Structure 1
Amino acid sequence: MQIVEAVFDGEVFLPDAPLNLQEGARVRITVELIEKPQINESPSFLKTAQSLQLEGPSNWSEQIN
């Protein structure tokens, strides 16, 4: 028996990890909904930087000394 978490894309289940099964193997699936944890995360640095909509030369990173 294997227990694997998966995501349902609206049509099929996509396992989070590889399954040790041969192609065409018949299985029995029991579905248990996993609630997403409520995490109050701060926005990432990249998202914050992108939201500032700064303008400048495309080679900024090359000019850092």
Structure 2
Amino acid sequence: MTKTVYATLHDREWLHLEEPMELPANARVRITIESGAEPDAAPPRSFLDVVQGLELDGPSDLSTRFHDHLYGNGDTGR
């Protein structure tokens, strides 16, 4: 039987299969390791790339007056 199954290596010691295998207990198997993501998977994006893509709208001075806007202290210019 030949089957391709994706797995994640944890703590450099054990593999966690993404789907169950129909094998008897203590079955001996041969494993071929191919490192990397699935060929069709999109490359990972950084958090900043994701946030920039959201096109959020907010006050122009949010970075300098964050606490004022968050807690409503003082004049927020609105």
2: CA distance, partners of 1:17 / 1:4: 7
Q: CA RMSD in A?
A: 2.4
Q: Structure 1: which 5+ residue stretches go unaligned?
A: 43-53, 55-65
Q: Which amino acid aligns with 1:19?
A: M
Q: Structure 2: which 5+ residue stretches go unaligned?
A: 52-69, 71-78
TM-score of the aligned structures, taking structure 1 as reference length: 0.55
Q: Which has the higher contact order (CA 8 A, sep 6+)?
A: 1
Q: Say whether 1:31 aligns with 2:37.
A: no
Q: Which amino acid aligns with 1:33?
A: S
* Counterpart mapping for 1:1-65 below 5 A: 1-9=2-10, 10-35=12-37, 37-39=43-45, 40-42=49-51
Q: Deviations over 1:2-50 (max 9, x none)?
A: 11000011211110000111111000000001238223434xxxxxxxx
TM-score of the aligned structures, taking structure 2 as reference length: 0.47
State the structure with more CA Rg.
2
2: CA distance, partners of 1:8 / 1:21: 20
Report how many aligned residue pairs link the two structures.
45
